[in-house]
Amino acid sequence: MVLKENQRMIETYPWGQLTWYASEALGNTDNMTLGECLIKPGKQNSRHYHPNCTEILYVLQGTIIHEYEGKADVIMNAGDTITIPRNIKHFAKNIGDHDAIMLISFSSGARKTIQANQEE
């Protein structure tokens, strides 16, 4: 199935946006999710985790610091990749002067996201 540009799903947040290209909800896969995350300069997405899937994040543009539960914070630039196992709390902050753009994929077509502050 081909997903046309006007069929992608875009979620907008104060910190940036998520654009979805493949997922169970879009109807073009049932076993993975593919998207793009844009974080505005100086902003960060909320601390969260995925109970049903692994996430792979690849930095396309910009510089972020990635907080990864149980590991030292890591600065990532274009070309860097991180793998985040299920149930690991994490977030990314754009520490650059321009939009940070990341390709994100998940090992489930119906990825679940839990905001960490909902539990604390």
For residue 2, what is the DSSP state?
P
pLDDT of 2-31, one tens digit each?
989 999 999 999 999 999 999 999 999 999
Please tell me the CATH code under which domain 9-118 is placed. 2.60.120.10
- DSSP secondary structure letters along 26-69: TTS-SS-EEEEEEE-TT-BPPPEE-TT--EEEEEEESEEEEEET
Question: Residue 41: its pLDDT value, please?
Answer: 98
pLDDT of 68-107, one tens digit each?
887 889 999 999 999 999 999 999 999 999 999 999 999 9
Question: Residue 120: its pLDDT value, please?
Answer: 43
Domain extents for the chain?
9-118
